[in-house]
Amino acid sequence: MTEESPDIETPKFVATAEPSTPVSVAEVTVAAAKPQAEPVAEMPLLRIEGVGKKFGSFRAVDRLSLDIRAGEFFALLGPSGCGKTTLLRMLAGFEVPDEGRILLDGQDIALVPPHLRPVNMMFQNYALFPHLTVRDNIAFGLKRAGMARADIATRVAEMVALVKLDGLEKRKPDQLSGGQKQRVALARSLARRPQVLLLDEPLAALDKKLRESTQLELMDLQRRLGMTFIIVTHDQEEAMTMANRIGVMDAGRLEQVATPRELYEAPRSRWVAEFVGDVNLFDGEVTSREHNRLMISTKDAGTLSVAEPRQPVTKPVVSVAIRPEKVKLSRRGPVPDTANSHAINRLEGVVTDVSYLGGLTVYKVKLDSGAVLRSSMANTARLDIDAYAAGQRVVAWFTPDDCVVLEQ
């Protein structure tokens, strides 16, 4: 997935996995009893209750419920047309939900017009007022709030410093670069100190390098201001980098709400597993169970030994998901002297394709069954003594703990 910065992401996962223990991900969270006590103790800042929105006969958002706590950096992730932007626009007030409630601090704001909501939005195309200077763009919301002149000047100066736009206050939007426009849009939406800041694909218009640095700046800003950010994105890498929690949406519904790590390592459905990152999937049937392991007989990869999930598998027909980086390749397979070695899954095949991506190399291995297995291995050494070439016969292996069982 992120081939270039695994060392930046890893500590972040550790740091952010602790504070958020969402109700919905009992699958991985250790304490199963905890979620029942939590909603009573802490009312979320934003509660979306059974919200639905139809356009004609198309159900853009389908009775969706979600809680977002104060100070969270929440990402709505999904393919285009999944309803994430419609949901965001309902939070901003540009769309009125057909059903359900949107509670902000306990008050239903579903029918409150946008200009009366303590929520601000940063638009995908920035929507800067072309006839106003940078300063007047940032001051626009403050003037509408009836703030005193002197206070507006102070706040604008503060915002300009915050997003590092010093010296550009008198420019018009068309005299700014894309990155500078993005900062003005951010400053303008933050100036009123909204309870929730909504960001609609805020980085989509920036080039890759600028996008990465801006991601880090946004995270830093959110942490410093302690504000609640809800970002809509179709870029899973962006969502994983920035958000504390991610809601993955498809066809107007939330498929899973989890921390980035949970989403990647413990996807709840086949769809999520495939949407977030790369994955090898094998369909099969549970045949037996031994020592917390399920033996799953698959058509393409023989019998796989898989760690039993916390939530018991109810249906016999399942999919086994293994992320490519969990699949190791070797010429002879693992040495069979470790304690768990008997349970290690080994698949034999021939390397058909080698993609060198710098930080890692992705191999495609054609198994003897004919199915293709992907393996990605970090290029930890500069000299590739251990690299495999196309046509080479290899053993691909992975442990039972690296497999995720998904019901179909």
Partner 1 sequence: MSARNIFARPARLAAIAPYVWMVLFFLVPFGFVLKISLSQTAIAQPPYLPLFDLTSGSAALKAAFAALSLDNFRLLISDSLYISSYLRSVVVAVTSTAILLVIGYPVAYGMARLPQRWQPIAMMLVIVPFWTSFLIRIYAWINILQHDGLLNKVLLALHIVSVPVVWLSTDSAMYLGIVYSYLPFMILPLYATLAKMDGTLIEAASDLGAAPGRAFWLVTFPLSLPGVGAGALLCFIPIVGEFVIPDLLAGSSSMMIGQTLWLEFFTNKDWPVASAAAIALLLLLIPPLLLYDRLQRRTIEGAG
Could you say whether residue 140 binds partner 1 (CB under 8 A)? Answer: yes
Which listed range, 52-60, 122-130, 160-168, 398-406, lies at the site for partner 1 (CB under 8 A)? 122-130
Nearer to partner 1, 37 or 145 (CB): 145
Structure tokens at 80: 């285009």
Residue with Cβ nearer partner 1 (71 or 118): 118
Note whether 73 and 222 are within 8 A (CB): yes
Query: Looking at beta carbons only, is 190 or 296 nearer to partner 1?
Result: 190
Which listed range, 18-26, 30-38, 125-133, 264-272, lies at the site for partner 1 (CB under 8 A)?
125-133
331: helix, strand or coil: coil
User: Considering the rule CB under 8 A, would residue 12 count as an interface residue with partner 1?
Assistant: no
Distance from C-alpha of 299 to C-alpha of 177, rounded to nearest angstrom: 55
Distance CA 273, CA 347 (A): 21
Is residue 400 a contact partner of residue 293, using CB atoms and an 8 Å limit?
Answer: yes
Question: Which C-beta is closer to partner 1: that of 87 or that of 321?
Answer: 87
* Residue whose structure tokens are 């995720």: 404
When asked if residue 395 is in the footprint of partner 1 (CB under 8 A), the reply is no
CA distances to 245, 345, 394, 403 from 337, rounded to whole Å, are 40, 14, 20, 21
We find the least distance from the C-beta atom of residue 289 to partner 1, in angstroms, to be: 55
Nearer to partner 1 by C-beta: 69 or 192?
A: 192
DSSP structural state of residue 309: P
* Smallest separation (angstroms) from partner 1 to the CB of 144: 3
Among 144, 149, 291, 310, binds partner 1 (CB under 8 A): 144
Near partner 1 by CB under 8 A: residue from 1, 59, 71, 123: 123
Q: How far apart are the first and last CA of the chain?
A: 24
Closer CB to partner 1, residue 77 or residue 197? 197
Shortest distance, position 137 Cβ to partner 1, whole Å: 9
Q: Measured between alpha carbons, how far is 167 from 172 in angstroms, rounded to an integer?
A: 12
CB of 203 to partner 1, least distance (A): 17
- Among residues 104, 121, 159, 327, the one that binds partner 1 under rule CB under 8 A: 121
The least CB distance from residue 278 to partner 1, in Å, is: 35
Given 8, 34, 37, 94, the residue binding partner 1 (CB under 8 A): 94
Q: Cα separation of 295 and 81, whole Å?
A: 38
CA-CA distance, 250 to 190, in Å (whole number)? 29
146: Cβ–Cβ under 8 A, 6 or more apart, which residues? none
Residue 325 makes CB contacts below 8 A (sequence gap 6+) with 360, 375, 376, 377, 378
Q: Which residues bind partner 1 (CB under 8 A)?
A: 92-94, 113-116, 120-121, 123, 125, 127-131, 140-141, 144-145, 172, 174-175, 188-189, 192
